[in-house]
Structure 1
Amino acid sequence: MKGRTIILDHLGEIEAAALMVDGTLDDLLVDTPDVPRSGTIYRAIADRPVKGQGGMFLKTPDGSAFLRQIKGLAPGQPILVQVSGFAEDGKAIPVTSKLLFKSRYAIITPEAPGLNISRSIRDEEERDRLLEIAHDAMDGAAYGLILRSCCAGGDADAISEDIEAMLELAQNVLGDESTEMETLAEGDGPHVLAWRDWVAPAEVVTQAGGFEDHGVLDALDSLAQDRVALSGGASMYVEPTRALVAVDVNTGADVSLAAGIKANMACARALPRALRLRGLGGQIVLDLAPMPKKDRRPFETALRSAFKADEVETTLVGWTPLGHYELQRKRARAPLAELLA
């Protein structure tokens, strides 16, 4: 099946959304009923600092949270924070004090004043049109605004309504003068996230049973396996451990001199999707197929290009003395294996 299809359905009782591109599962969002959603905003209470790490544990309605960069924050002081990633079992909820109010068209940035338009929108007439919409909708508010790339050619009323909704939410949250520990705004669920972030044109399927009808359940069965088939008969194994995610690349039956670089380049192209669908992050170590050192630079270029299109923040760390390649990836989602257990 050619084209993009967004399927909004459930896995059992759990809300989920899937993005199929040309008949292949490209992205998957699954709700985490027992874990705070990313984007949830708390009024937290500072608890105790962590010496040597520049951070502090906070008390929230959903348990202990950890905040970095705590200059000027004293124990017992209330502070507004936002969940910034997935809270691993037994660990504190990762939060940030830099709040963002994000929707399909607009992002309100309280700490970064000014009206900004996505740099991908280059047409000057369109930028002028969007700037006019932004000025009218913000109505002199002191907060900052970013208009996202999907605003290009978008309906003026829809963009304006989106800005006003996020502005009202920001004003309600930031204007609340209470000092008690409280959840001020819930993070978005998979269906809203799909509407918010999967903005390219697509067929949208909402009827029950969509996952089965469009092959999502079959794709989930394959994701339960560590092996990922690559082009040219090569493969890689993506295996999460408690400490890191190990990726082992194999050339398969190809015994040519170029087999190693071909398998490694295929790994570079496939790795972001493999990690994204499995919800894996943290330290990632690649045990690549053998290749000459002169081929390392093309491999790094391909890897950088592949992750540039991926929304989850990933840092390419570099080579180890043993010839492995390391990455550091934000834990933005719950591991799929835990959600389907």
Structure 2
Amino acid sequence: MKGRVIVLDHLGDRQAAALMVDGQLDDLLVETDAPAPGTIYRAVAERPVKGQGGLFLRTPDGAAYLRQAKGIAQGEVLSVQVTGFGEPGKAIPVTTRVLFKSRFAIITPDAPGLNISRRIKDDDLRDTLLELAHEGMEGSEMGLILRSSCAEADPDDVSADIADMRAMAETVMADDSTTPEVLLRGDDPWQLAWREWSAPADVAQEPGVFETHGVLDALDAARASHIALGAQASMYVEATRALIAVDVNTGADGSFAAGLKANIAAAKALPRALRVRGLGGQITMDLAPMPKKERRSFENALRAAFRGDDVETVLAGWTPLGHYELQRKRARLPLSEVLT
């Protein structure tokens, strides 16, 4: 099936959203028991972590961990936001840089200024959006970012989104209580799909649509580590306790260019493979053999592939053994944990 389809259904009793692109599962969001990224807490500072510059906080959902906590005293009350999912048995990762994010607008309480996404190039449109930003944030000291999704949006919808996010931010940031509390829950999978999958798409929401649109079959395939890359090449994506291992193979193709072709195909397929499987952390790629002079071509393909991915990923570079390393934010729980 060609085109984009957003499929909203349940996996067991868990709310879930799937993005199907040309018949392939391109992204998956599943409700979990852990606090959703974007959740905002009123938290109380507890003990610092010596030598690491971090600090443990007390929240209603358990211990949270704040990096770069210099200058924060024990017992101090903070507003913090969940940034992702911690490793099993570890504290909830949080930041003091709170954002209020919606489909079109992002309110930044600690970063004043009005900004338009750089992806919007049309000068007339940028001027129009800047006018909306000034109108919507008049009298406020908070900052605003208008997202690239505004390019195709109705101006009235953008204005309404700015107003809603501003009102929410002002309410939350005005809180002055001193006990740990949830101030705002992060978006559920359906809300997150509406917020982040803003490109034109059909929407399917009837009961059982995961089966009729091939989502369940795609999930069965995603449970396996093997991913075909076309022709005879393939890669394996396997999670260990320490890192995510990616092994790229050319198969029976013994031609001179086989290694580069397999590695570029792996670069293009890797973001989708990680998104669907919910994998993050340290990633090490054991690539198919190719001349060192071809590394630049592989790097360009990898950089282009991750440019369209919404999960923060650092392309760290080559190791002395010729592996390529990445560091990816743990923005989702692994599929293996969600579907157990």
Partner of 2:27: 27
Partner of 2:222: 223
Q: Distance in 2 between matches of 1:152 and 1:326?
A: 35
Alignment coverage as a number of residue pairs: 340
8 Å CA contact retained: 1:36, 1:87: no
The answer to whether residue 14 in structure 2 is matched with residue 17 in structure 1 is no
2:233 corresponds to which letter in structure 1? A
1:5 corresponds to which letter in structure 2? V
2:8 corresponds to which letter in structure 1? L
Partner of 1:199: 198
1:2 corresponds to which letter in structure 2? K
Q: C-alpha deviations, 1:101-160, integer Å up to 9, x for none?
A: 000010000111111111122222212221222222223211000111111242222111
8 Å CA contact retained: 1:283, 1:326: yes
State the SS of the aligned residue for 2:254. Answer: coil
8 Å CA contact retained: 1:229, 1:235: yes
State the SS of the aligned residue for 2:231. Answer: helix
Partner of 2:41: 42
Q: TM-score, normalised by structure 2?
A: 0.98
Q: Distance in 2 between matches of 1:242 and 1:123?
A: 47
Q: TM-score, normalised by structure 1?
A: 0.98
Partner of 2:62: 63
2:19 corresponds to which letter in structure 1? L
Residues 222/51 of structure 1: CA separation in 2 closer, same or farther (3 Å cut): same
8 Å CA contact retained: 1:35, 1:87: no
1:110 corresponds to which letter in structure 2? P
Identical positions, percent: 67
State the SS of the aligned residue for 2:297. Answer: helix
Q: Distance in 2 between matches of 1:327 and 1:120?
A: 25
Partner of 1:288: 287
Q: Distance in 1 between matches of 2:54 and 2:166?
A: 30
**Where in structure 1 are there 5+ consecutive unaligned residues?**
none
Q: Distance in 1 between matches of 2:210 and 2:282?
A: 31
State the SS of the aligned residue for 1:152. Answer: helix
Q: Distance in 1 between matches of 2:319 and 2:135?
A: 53
Please give the residue correspondences for 1:255-270 in structure 2 after superposition, counting only pairs within 5 Å. Answer: 255-270=254-269
Structure 1 residues 148-157 or 1-10, which shifts more?
148-157
The answer to whether residue 157 in structure 2 is matched with residue 170 in structure 1 is no
8 Å CA contact retained: 1:98, 1:111: yes
| Offset at residue 164 of structure 1 (A) | 1.0
Structure 1 residues 136-145 or 54-63, which shifts more?
136-145
State the SS of the aligned residue for 2:299. Answer: helix
Q: Distance in 2 between matches of 1:321 and 1:137?
A: 52
Structure 1 residues 127-136 or 161-170, which shifts more?
127-136
Please give the residue correspondences for 1:130-145 in structure 2 after superposition, counting only pairs within 5 Å. Answer: 130-145=129-144
1:38 corresponds to which letter in structure 2? P
Partner of 2:184: 185
Q: Distance in 1 between matches of 2:164 and 2:252?
A: 56
The answer to whether residue 148 in structure 2 is matched with residue 149 in structure 1 is yes
2:241 corresponds to which letter in structure 1? R
Partner of 2:158: 159
1:247 corresponds to which letter in structure 2? V
User: What stretches of structure 1 move > 3 A for 4+ residues in a row?
Assistant: none
Partner of 1:73: 72
